[in-house]
Amino acid sequence: MAATRRGKVVGQAAMPLDDLIDECWPAWFTKLSGPGDRLPRVLAPGTPLGRLPLPPRQKPAFRSRAIVVAGARDGTAACLASGLRRPGDYNTTLGTTLVFNEFKKREYL
């Protein structure tokens, strides 16, 4: 949805085609898909995308419009919600998939 509304895409841990550290698509993927401007921007979960516009002449339910942020897949969202804070913290989530996460300063392959 974010990609269709804002021209941006969010990284997905289950299908890592994107590089969330450098916020880009891998070179091999851009070669296959054509010019890079055809692809939406890669953004990390939680990146602000903008604000929801209020319909004309409608009283806002809140003092300010809601901020829309990039989302995450269920395993990534569970990891973020679990409270990992320091390098070496781990999280395992069993849902639609089994996801193992470790908090690191930088991704290492």
C-alpha angle with apex 3: 55 to 68, nearest 5 degrees?
45
Query: pLDDT at residue 87 above 70?
Result: yes
Q: Are 54 and 100 members of one domain?
A: no
Q: Are 38 and 81 members of one domain?
A: no
Q: Are 13 and 54 members of one domain?
A: yes
Query: pLDDT at residue 29 above 50?
Result: yes
| Alpha helices for the chain (secondary structure H) | 2-6, 27-33, 74-81
The boundaries of the domain holding residue 106 are 73-109
Q: Measured in whole angstroms, how far is the alpha carbon of residue 4 from the centre of its chain?
A: 14
Q: Are 9 and 57 members of one domain?
A: yes
Q: Are 47 and 29 members of one domain?
A: yes
Query: pLDDT at residue 30 above 80?
Result: no
Question: 19-23, 32-36, 101-105: which has the highest mean pLDDT?
Answer: 101-105
- Quick one: average pLDDT of 44-52? 84
Burial degree of 83 (CB within 10 A; 0-12, 13-18, 19+): exposed
Q: Which amino acid is at 6?
A: R
Q: Is the CB of residue 8 less than 8 Å from the CB of residue 41?
A: yes
Query: Two tokens at 97?
Result: 């998939």
Q: Are 12 and 39 members of one domain?
A: yes
Q: Are 65 and 103 members of one domain?
A: no
Instruction: Give this prediction's pTM.
Output: 0.51
Question: What's the whole-number average pLDDT of the chain?
Answer: 72
